[in-house]
Structure 1
Amino acid sequence: MTQSDAILDRLMSLHPKVIDLSLDRMHRLLAALGHPERRIPPVIHIAGTNGKGSTQAMIRAGLEAGGARVHAYTSPHLARFHERIRLAGELIPEDLLAATLEECEATNDGQPITFFEITTAAGFLAFSRVPADYTLLEVGLGGRLDATNVIDDPRLTIITPVSIDHTQYLGETLPEIAGEKAGILKRRVPAIIAPQEEPALEVIEARAERLGAPLLIAGQHWSVARERDSLVFQDENGLLDLPLPNLPGPHQIENAGTALAALRHLGVSPDQARAAVTRAEWPARMQRLKQGPLVEAAGPAAELWLDGGHNPAGGQAVAATLAAMPRRATWLVCGMLNTKDVTGYMRPLADQVDGLIAIPIPGEPNTLPAEATAQAAREAGIDARVGENAEAAIREIASTSSQSRILICGSLYLAGRVLRENN
C-alpha cells in the first residue's frame, strides 16, 4: 500500500455517505485552504450523462497538440487514484498526491466531508500550484450540487448528452436530470451543448436564457456527421473534413463534434482539430485489450474488449459499436452495480450478442449478485449464465469457441479491476 492509499482509506471515513450532494462542505474547506479554486488556470467545465470522459480526452488531445499545458480532473479512476488528477499533461506523482491529500486532511480537521469532496479539493490545490494554460474539469455526479461546481467564472461549459441515470440523486425524469446538469451554466459564460432530447434541451435553454449564457447547440450552431470514412464538422467558422475518431464506436462521432465545437470556440488550428480526433486516449471505452493474462486466457484467435458503460444509453452505444464491427460470435462478461437499470442496459445488446456470463464485481460492496445480473439479461432476451470471475468466464467461452469476440462490460469499477488484473 502506498502512502496515498493509506490517506485515501482514512478520507473514506469522514462522512457516513459516499454521496451527499451539497456545496456547503466544499465552500468551507476551500475557504480554509485559501480558495485554491480561484487560482487555477482557465476552466472548461464538463457535465452530462454519457461521453464526458471521451469528450474531455479529445479536447485535451487538441489543446496539447498546439503546445498547451492542460490540467485534467476526472472520476472515477480505473486502476489508480492518480488517474483522476493530471497536472500539465502528466498524472500527479505519488509524493505530491500524498502531500496534497495530507494537507487537505489536516485543514479539514476531522469535520464531515465526503471522499469525493475532499479529493476534489485536493485536485484544486494541486492545480493551483502547477502552471498550465487550461483546466479540464469533469463533473462527478449531476452538476448543480457537484463538488466541482464551485468555479464562478469558467472559460467554457459543456453539456454532453443527458439521459436517465442516478435517479436516486438527480430526479426521476429527463427534465429534472437536465436541470441538475444545467446547474454548471454560469452567467454570460458560453456553453457547448451536445445533441439532446427535446425535453432536456428545453430545460438547458431556459436556464441559459436566465443567466444570459450564450449557447452553441448541436444541430443549430454546429453539426457533425460521418461521411464514408471521414468525419465532417461544420460551424460558423467553416467546414472541417477529418479522419474518423480513433476512439471506437459510432457514438464517438457526437463526442468528437462536441469536442471540436469547444476547440473551435477556443480558436484552435485545423491541425489541432485533427489531433483531437486521432490522438485521444480514454481507457475502458470499447478498449481492445492486446496483451496480458486475460488476453492469453481468451486465446490467440479471439478478440478481447473492455467497456465501462453502465446505463441504458451506454448499452445503446456498445450495441451500435458491435453492430458496426464485422460479425463474429460475441459474448459478454458482465458485472454491474445494484444501483443501475440493468435490464435497460442489456436490452439494446440482445440482438448483437450470442450469450452472457454474469459475474460479481470483486471488492465492490454495491455489486449486483451474478444471478441477478444473469436474470436481468434473460429478461432482455439474452442467453445468460453465471460465472465466478472474469478470467474463469473468459476461459469458459474460449473452451467452446476459440474465435469469439468477448466484451467485458457493465461497470467502470469492473473495468478498473480488469485493467489491474490484466497487467
Structure 2
Amino acid sequence: MANRPTSAPPTDAEAALRRLKGLHPSTIDLGLDRVHRLLSALGDPHRRLPRAIHVAGTNGKGSTVAFLRAFLEAAGYRVNAYTSPHLIRFNERIRLAGQPIDDRVLVESIGRVEAANEGQPITFFEATTAAAFLAMAESAADVTLLETGLGGRLDATNVLDRPAVTIITPVGMDHMAWLGDSLALIAAEKAGILKPGVPAIIAPQPAEAEKALLEKAAAIGASIDRDWRVEATIEGFRFLSSARSLDLPPPALAGDHQLNNAGAALAALAHLFDIEVPDEAIRTGLRQVEWPGRLERIGSGALFDRLPAGSELWFDAAHNPEGGLQLGRFLRTLPRRPTVLVTGMYYDKRVEGFLAPLASLVDRMVAVEFEGEQPCLPASRLVEAGATLGIPAVDGGALERAFEDLSDSAPARIIVSGSIALVGRALAANAR
C-alpha cells in the first residue's frame, strides 16, 4: 500500500493546476459536452483504459475504492485509480499502478490537456479528469477504479460506454443545489452511471433512494446484484453471497459502516471474470487498507504534541448529515470521556444536520475557518448552530490557533471533522 499524503513545497504541478483553474467558465452548467470535446481532441484516452469499476454515491465512495485497491493489489494486480477531492496534494487523486502520479507525468498530462483545449472554457474537474484519463491510458494496469466527483449522470467521469461494474454507495442529502432536494432526485442523478447490461452493486440505501435506483436500473436494463450481505462477528465480519462465503478480520478502517463498503467492493470483484482474488489476498487487503482522514486516530505529530498529555486526537472527513450520524455511532463505541469537536464547514453544507447526531456526545465545540476551493462558513454561524443544539461552542479562529488554545485545556478526546478540506489542512499541519 502507498504511504499517507504528506506536505510538500510548491511545484511546477501546482503552477499547472492554477492555470487550469483560470479556464473555469463564468457560469457552470453540468453536462458532458465540454469533456467529450476535450477527450476527443486528446484521442479519446478514456476508451483505452483497462477494465473499469465506476463508483458513485454520497458517502463511502472513497473508502470503497480504497478496499478495491487493497484487495486487488494484495492479489498482485496493477491498479490505476482516480478519486477526489485530495487531502493535501492533488497528486493523491490520480494513482498509477498503486502510486500517486509523479509531478513530471502530471505536468506533462496537464500540458497536453491545455494544448488540446486551446483556451476554451472548461471546469477544473473536467480538465483534470481528462488529464487523469490520459495518464491512466498510458500506464500499464489491470484494473481502473473511478470515483465520481459530484452526482453521476452529468459527472465528468461518466463518459465510459461500458465499465466492467458500477457501484452505488449510500445516498444521502448533499450537494442539493446541483442534484436536487430529495433523496429520490439525488439517487436518480447517482444512478446515471448505471449502464444497460452492466452489473451494478447497490449498497444498503434509505428506502426512498433505493426505490429510485432500482427504477432507473430497470428502465435501462442494468443488471443489479443484490445477492450479497455482510454480518458483524466477534472476530470481524462475514461476507455472504451465492459465489462466496468468507469469515474475515475487521478492516483497518474504523467504523461499522466500513463493513458495507468492504462488502460492496467484494461483490464487485465477483464480476471481474478474468480477475481472481484469493481469500488470503482479501484478508491481507482488509488488514492493510488505508484511507487517511476517515475515523483516523492520530498518535504523533505537531498538532498532537500541542495537546495535554493523555489526550486523544481523531481526524474524520464527515461533512454531511449521514457522515455526522456515522461519526456519532462510532463515538458511542468508545469509552466515554470529555470530547471536543473542532469543526469548520463549507458554506453549502447542512450544519445542523451534521451536528445533531453529535450533540449528546460532544461536551464542547470549537468552530474554525479555513481556506478552500469554496467559501467556508463563518465560525459565528457554526457557534450559533451549536448553541441551537445545546453544544457549548466558541470561535476558535484558524485551525492552528484553536490547537494553541486547546493546549491549555484538560486532557480530552479531540475530533477534527466537518470538511475534507479541513481534515487535509489538519493532516498537513500535523506533519510539519
Same fold (TM over 0.5): yes
1:245 aligns with 2:251: yes
CA-to-aligned-CA distance 1:16-57 (integer Å, 9 cap, x gap): 358541100000000000000000111100000000001110
Residues 105-254 of structure 1: matches in 2 within 5 Å? 105-217=114-226, 221-254=227-260
Deviation at 1:395, TM superposition (A): 3.3
1:262-301 superposed matches below 5 A: 262-266=268-272, 267-301=276-310
2:5 match: none
> What amino acid maps onto 1:321 in structure 2?
F
SS at match of 1:368: coil
Q: Return the match for 2:357 from 348, 372, 376.
A: 348
1:172-222 C-alpha deviation (Å, 9 max, x unpaired) = 1111000000000011000111001122111111221222221112xxx11
Equivalent position to 1:65, from 63, 67, 74: 74
Please tell me whether the aligned partners of residues 17 and 114 of structure 1 are also in contact (alpha carbons under 8 angstroms): no
The match for 1:410 is 418
1:324 matches 2:338: no
Identity across the alignment (%): 50
2:251 matches 1:260: no
Match of 2:84 in 1: 75
Which amino acid counterpart does residue 213 of structure 1 have in structure 2?
Answer: A
Shift of 1:238: 3.6
Query: What pairs with 1:379-394 in structure 2 (closer than 5 Å)?
Result: 379-394=388-403
SS class of match (2:77): coil
User: In structure 2, the residue corresponding to 1:399 is in which secondary structure?
Assistant: coil
Note if 1:37 corresponds to 2:43.
no
Amino acid of the structure 2 residue aligned with 1:419: L
Q: What is the distance in 1 between the residues matched to 2:353 and 2:287?
A: 32
Partner of residue 406 from structure 2, selected from 397, 413, 416: 397
Q: 1:265 to 1:81 in 2, by over 3 A?
A: same
Aligned residues: 419
Question: What SS does structure 2 have at the residue aligned with 1:400?
Answer: coil
Residue aligned with 1:5, SS:
helix
Gaps of 5+ in 2: 1-9
Q: SS of the counterpart of 1:199?
A: helix
Does the CA contact (< 8 Å) of 1:338 and 1:367 recur in 2?
A: yes
**Given that residues 297 and 391 in structure 1 are in contact (C-alpha distance below 8 angstroms), is that contact kept between their aligned partners in structure 2?**
no
Aligned-partner Cα distance in 2 for 1:394–1:307: 16
Amino acid at match of 1:281: E
Secondary structure of the 2:87 match is coil
Task: Report the secondary structure of 1:256's partner residue.
Answer: helix
- Residue 414 to residue 17, structure 1, CA distance change in 2 (3 Å): farther
CA contact (8 A) 1:322 1:352 kept: yes
Shift of 1:225: 1.8
Structure 1 residues 75 and 338, CA, compared in 2 at 3 Å: closer, same or farther? same
TM-score, structure 1 normalization: 0.96
Q: Is the 8 A contact 1:333 1:394 kept in 2?
A: no
One-letter amino acid of the counterpart of residue 325, structure 2: Q
CA offsets per residue over residues 100-133 of structure 1, 9 Å max, x none? 1011011101001000000000000001101100
Distance 1:30 1:158, change over 3 A: same
Deviation of residue 277 (structure 1)? 2.1
Q: Is this contact kept in 1: 2:370–2:376, CA < 8 A?
A: yes
- What secondary structure does 1:202 align onto? helix
Which shifted more, 305-314 or 251-260? 251-260
Aligned to 2:3: none
Aligned 8 A contact 1:18 1:115 in 2? no
Q: Is contact 2:153–2:190 with CA below 8 Å preserved after alignment?
A: yes
Give the counterpart letter for 2:290 in structure 1: E
Q: CA deviation at 1:10?
A: 1.1
Residues 17, 351 of structure 1: CA spacing in aligned structure 2 closer, same or farther, 3 A cutoff? farther
